[in-house]
Amino acid sequence: MRRRVAILGGGMAGLAAAWRLSDPDGERPEVTVYQRGWRLGGKGASSRGPHGRIEEHGLHVWLGFYDNAFRLLRACYEQLDRPGSDPGCPIQRWRDAFVPASSVGLGRTGDAGSSFWVADFPESDRLPGGPLGTDEPTITDFLERGLALLGRFGGSLDSPPAPTPRAELTTSPTHPAQRRRRASSGTELLSGARAGLRAVSGNDAAARRTAELLELLTTMLRGTIADRLAIRGYNAIDHLDLREWLLAHGASQAALAAPIMQGHYDLSFAYEEGDPARPRFAAGLALHLTMKMFFDYKGALFWKMRAGMGDVVFAPLYQALRERGVRFRFFHRLDHLRLAPDGRSVEEVDLARQVRVRGEEYAPLIRVGGLPVFPDRPNLSQLDAGQELLRYDLESHGCTWPDAERVTLAAGRDYDALVLAVSVGMVPHTCGELLEADERWRAMVERVATVGTQAFQLWLRADERSLGWQAPAATVTGCGEPFDTFGSLSQTLAFETWPERERPLTAASFCGTMPEAAIAAAADPRDLVRSAAERFLDRRGAGLWPGAAAAGGGFRWDLLCAPGAGSVAGRERFGTQYWRANVDPSDRYVLALPGSGPFRLAADGSGLDNLYLAGDWIDNGLNAGCIESAVLGGLQAANAIVGRRADDGTSGGYRPRGALAHV
Ligand SMILES: Cc1cc2nc3c(=O)[nH]c(=O)nc-3n(C[C@H](O)[C@H](O)[C@H](O)COP(=O)(O)OP(=O)(O)OC[C@H]3O[C@@H](n4cnc5c(N)ncnc54)[C@H](O)[C@@H]3O)c2cc1C
C-alpha cells in the first residue's frame, strides 16, 4: 500500500514538499494538502480583486540566487506544457512569468525630504534554477569575488569610480595555495583601501556613496578573513547583529548608517517587534545573503513576476500538483496536533471544516484574461454557504465564522507521515501538547521571533516618467518609515482588466514592518495601515514622485485610479486602493534575530516519529524569511520522508545542522 502524507499548510514550503513527494521518479506516497480558506500561497499569496487587479500580501521579488525555487518552478512549467495543453494562456513558460528587475534604488529620507540613487545592476544570459551543479561558491570564492571588485576600484580612490557596478563577478575555481596567496594580498589591499576611503571627500554625494559602499565591502572582507569564516562557516558570527559585527571590525558610524546598510535591514523586515529603533539581523546570515545576492546572482540581481505571485507561482503549482495526483482540501483549518500516549508520534490531527463544499472537490482557480488565477474571495457557487460568508476572513486565525464540522485525521488510518507547514507563528496555537512535552519546541517558539508587516498598493493614472521617476520599474528601499520599501509593479498592468478609458499607467507596492505596540493597541490593524499610508503619501509621496505633489502640498489623490468612484475626492480616494495588515500568526514575517539560529529545528528534527517540518522558520541552512528558504524547507521535509539524497534540497551551499545534512 502507498504511504500517505498529510501536509498541513499550502504556502511555498508545503507546496515544495508536495512537489518533491509527488515526483514521478520517486516513491510517490499519496499526498493531501490541508489549507484553510480558499487559496494557496500563505505570505506569498495574491489574488484578483476589482478590475482583475492583482492584490498581494506585500511586495515580492525573487533574488537571482534562488536556484532551488527557480528550479522547482521551471520544472513545474515544463510539466504543465502550456503551449500544448493551454495555448490560449497568456503566460506559457517560466520565462514569460518572470522579468529581470535590475534597477535597485536606495533612498536617504529625512525631515528635509528624500533623495534616491538607483543602480542598474548588470544582467547576463545566465538563468537561475539551472540543473544541479557542483560549482557552488564557497566562502573563499566570495572573498575572491569581493577582492576582485575592490581591486577594480583600487586605483581610483581619489576620484571614485562610477557607482554603478558594471559586470557580474565570477571567478574560476583556483588552487588552495593560490587562494592563500590571494587572501594575504587581500588583507594588504583591504588595509590600504580603507585608509584611502576615509580620505574621499565627504561632501560630494556620489563620492560619499562610493566610499560607504567600499568601506562596507572592505570591512566585510576583513571580518571574513579575521574571523576565519571560510573555516568556521558564516553561522560562527550569527550570535551578533550585522552592524555590531561590522563595528567590531572597524566600520565607521557613517558606513553603518549608510542607505545600503539600512536597505539590508529594510528588505528583511529586520526590526525586533517591528520597532524601527531596534534593527537586529544575525550577522552570519546577513553576510551570507549579501554575498549570494551580489556575487552569485544569475541573470539579474532581482526578478519580478509579470503578474501576481498567486498567478505565476501558486496557480501553476496547484495545476501541476493536481496533475500528479496530489489532493487539496481547502477550507480545512488545523486546530491541534494530538500526541500518542507514549509521546513519540502524532496520534491525531484535529481540523475544522470551515464550510462544506458542494461537489466532490473545491476548484480554486478562475480565469482573468485567460490566465488561471485565485480570486479574492471564496467561490460561493461551490459552497454550502450564502453571501454572509464573504464578510468573514477565513484566512484569519481569529475568524468567528461558525465551522461546518470537525474533522479528525488518525495516524495509520489517514496518514503515515505529517508535514507541518503552517508558519512558526501558528505553532503555539496548534501544537500545545508538543510545546508542553518538549523544551526544544518551547525554546524555538520563544527565540524564532516573527514580526507583523503592513502593505499597500496604488494604481495611478500617470506613467512613472511623468510622475518624475527617471528609472522606471525600480525596487527601492529607504523610502522612510513606516513603508520603507517600494516596488514598481507596472509590469503587471497588462494582465489586469481595467476599463479602457480608466486604465492605470503605474502600479506600485509599499511595505514595511508594523510595530507590536501599535498592533496591540489597534481595534482593527487595517484601519491603522490605512491612516499610516495616507499620512505617508501626504508627507513622502512627492519625494518619491515629484509629479504627484499637490499644488498646496501633500499628495495628488486625484491620480489614483478608481473607476466608478469619480465623486470620491481627497484622501478618501485612498479607500479605493488596496492595503492590508499582515498580523495573523501565520502571516507574520519570520525574523532571523542574532542568536536565534541554534533554536530552529530541522525538517527531521521534530522529535516525533511521524512529524516533519517545512517552512522558512526551520533550520534549512538558509535561515531567512524568504521564498528560497521556504522551498528548501519543503524539499528537506519531503527528502526526510522518502529518504532521498538531500542534494537538491540543499543546493546553494545551505546545510541544515540536523541529520539531513548527511542524508
Ligand atoms: C510582506 C512580505 C513581503 C515579503 N517579500 C518577500 C520577497 O520579496 N522575497 C522573498 O523571497 N520573500 C519575501 N517574503 C517572505 C516569503 O513570503 C516567505 O518566506 C514565504 O512565503 C514563507 O513560506 P512558508 O510556506 O514557509 O510559510 P507561509 O507562507 O506562511 O505558509 C503557511 C501556510 O499555512 C497556512 N495555514 C496557516 N495556519 C493554518 C491553519 N491553522 N490551518 C491550515 N492552514 C494554515 C497558511 O494559510 C499558508 O498557506 C515576504 C513576506 C512578507 C510577509
pLDDT tens, 348-383?
999 999 999 999 999 999 999 999 999 999 999 999
Q: What is the pLDDT of residue 176?
A: 37
Evaluate: CB of 333 within 6 angstroms of ligand 1. yes
Model confidence pTM above 0.85: yes
Q: What is the pLDDT of residue 191?
A: 53
Predicted confidence (pLDDT) at residue 163 exceeds the cutoff of 50 = no
Question: Using one digit for the tens of pLDDT, what is the confidence trace for 74-116?
Answer: 999 999 999 999 999 999 999 999 999 999 999 887 777 778 8
Evaluate: CB of 211 within 6 angstroms of ligand 1. no
Evaluate: CB of 35 within 6 angstroms of ligand 1. yes
Q: How many angstroms is it from 264 CA to the middle of ligand 1?
A: 20
Place of cell 512549467: 77
Evaluate: CB of 622 within 6 angstroms of ligand 1. no
Respond yes or no on whether the N-terminal peptide bond of residue 525 is cis (omega within 30° of 0). no
Q: How many angstroms is it from 61 CA to the middle of ligand 1?
A: 14
Burial of 229 (0-12, 13-18, 19+ CB in 10 A): buried
Question: Using one digit for the tens of pLDDT, what is the confidence trace for 213-252?
Answer: 889 999 999 999 999 999 999 999 999 999 999 999 999 9
Nearest CA to ligand 1 atom 18: 626
Q: What is the pLDDT of residue 528?
A: 97
- Each domain of the chain, given as residue ranges in start order, spans 4-58+307-447+595-650, 135-274+281-297, 450-582
pLDDT band for position 193 (cuts 50, 70, 90): low
Provide the mean pLDDT of the chain.
Answer: 90
Evaluate: CB of 582 within 6 angstroms of ligand 1. yes
pLDDT band for position 167 (cuts 50, 70, 90): very low
Best residue among 328, 488, 586, 588 to mutate for probing ligand 1's pocket (most ligand atoms within 8 Å of CB) is: 586
Burial of 85 (0-12, 13-18, 19+ CB in 10 A): exposed
Q: How many angstroms is it from 105 CA to the middle of ligand 1?
A: 25
| CATH class of the domain whose range is 4-58+307-447+595-650 | alpha beta
Going by C-alpha positions, the residue among 264, 120, 250, 117 that lies closest to residue 193 is: 250
Give me the mean pLDDT over the 402-414 stretch. Answer: 98
Q: CA distances (Å), 379 to each of 39, 83, 233, 581, in order?
A: 11, 28, 50, 23
pLDDT band for position 157 (cuts 50, 70, 90): very low
Predicted confidence (pLDDT) at residue 35 exceeds the cutoff of 60 = yes
Place of cell 496530489: 326
Predicted confidence (pLDDT) at residue 494 exceeds the cutoff of 70 = yes
Ligand 1 atom with minimal separation from the 61 CA: 8
Best residue among 289, 626, 629 to mutate for probing ligand 1's pocket (most ligand atoms within 8 Å of CB) is: 626
Question: Using one digit for the tens of pLDDT, what is the confidence trace for 52-72?
Answer: 999 999 999 999 999 999 999
Evaluate: CB of 292 within 6 angstroms of ligand 1. no
SS3 214: helix
Evaluate: CB of 61 within 6 angstroms of ligand 1. yes
Evaluate: CB of 425 within 6 angstroms of ligand 1. no
Q: Which residue has the higher pLDDT, 195 or 17?
A: 17
Nearest CA to ligand 1 atom 46: 42
Q: What is the pLDDT of residue 201?
A: 44
The CA radius of gyration of the chain, in Å to the nearest whole number, is: 25
- Spell 589-598 as b/e; 16+ CB within 10 A means b: bbbbbbebbe
* All residues at 6 or more sequence positions from 519 whose CB lies less than 8 Å from its CB, including other chains: 274, 452, 525, 528, 581, 583
Best residue among 7, 19, 43 to mutate for probing ligand 1's pocket (most ligand atoms within 8 Å of CB) is: 43
Give me the mean pLDDT over the 25-41 stretch. Answer: 96
Alpha-helix runs per DSSP H in 300-386: 309, 315-323
Q: What is the pLDDT of residue 206?
A: 78
Q: What is the pLDDT of residue 467?
A: 95
Evaluate: CB of 10 within 6 angstroms of ligand 1. yes
Q: What is the pLDDT of residue 66?
A: 96
Predicted confidence (pLDDT) at residue 495 exceeds the cutoff of 90 = yes
Q: What is the pLDDT of residue 51?
A: 96
Predicted confidence (pLDDT) at residue 558 exceeds the cutoff of 90 = yes
Nearest CA to ligand 1 atom 13: 626
Nearest CA to ligand 1 atom 14: 626
Question: Using one digit for the tens of pLDDT, what is the confidence trace for 651-662?
Answer: 777 777 765 543
Q: Which amino acid is it at 606?
A: S
Evaluate: CB of 580 within 6 angstroms of ligand 1. no
Q: What is the pLDDT of residue 113?
A: 75
